[in-house]
Amino acid sequence: MITIKIGGSVVDDLHPSTIADIKKVAESEGIILVHGGGKEVTKVCEQLGKEPKFVTSPSGIKSRYTDKETAEIFTMVMSGRINKTIVQMLQKNGINAIGISGVDAKIIRADRKK
């Protein structure tokens, strides 16, 4: 099993050769395709009138500040629009796929940073 990470902005513009490569790996070894989508989350937040907030750590790493409303938008965009667009694209190209999020079956568990 191989894990491949793609950025959310890549989803709408995946090159056919990239899809062919993903298909080849999926058929021979199996893949877990992980996607981003922060820019799309920001866009939808702005469309809904929710100003995105970002924080910078002491070491200079910029992160999204995610309150409850932003978390709901994040879930809607990532698990809804982006995830399902990827699944549809893979299925269209003969790659059997399902889309899940980290909360499904408690795949990802984490503690809030204090």
Which bin fits 99, alpha (ψ -120 to 50), beta or left (φ > 0)?
beta
Q: For residues 78 and 75, give the distance between their C-alpha atoms in angstroms, rounded to a whole number.
A: 5
**Contact criterion met (CB below 8 Å) for 102 and 71:** no
Q: Which residue has the higher pLDDT, 12 or 92?
A: 92
Q: For residues 109 and 114, give the distance between their C-alpha atoms in angstroms, rounded to a whole number.
A: 16
Strands 2-6 and 31-35: parallel
DSSP reduced 3-state for 97: coil
Rounded to 5 degrees, what are φ and ψ at 92? -60, -30
What is the residue extent of each domain of the chain? 2-106
The domain covering 2-106 belongs, at the CATH homologous superfamily level, to: Acetylglutamate kinase-like (3.40.1160.10)
Q: What is the pLDDT of residues 64-107, one digit of tens each?
A: 999 999 999 999 999 999 999 899 989 999 999 999 998 898 88
Q: What is the pLDDT of residues 32-52, one digit of tens each?
A: 999 999 999 999 999 999 999
Band (pLDDT 50/70/90 cuts) for residue 19 is confident
The arithmetic mean of pLDDT across residues 18-26, rounded, is: 90
What is this structure's pTM?
A: 0.81
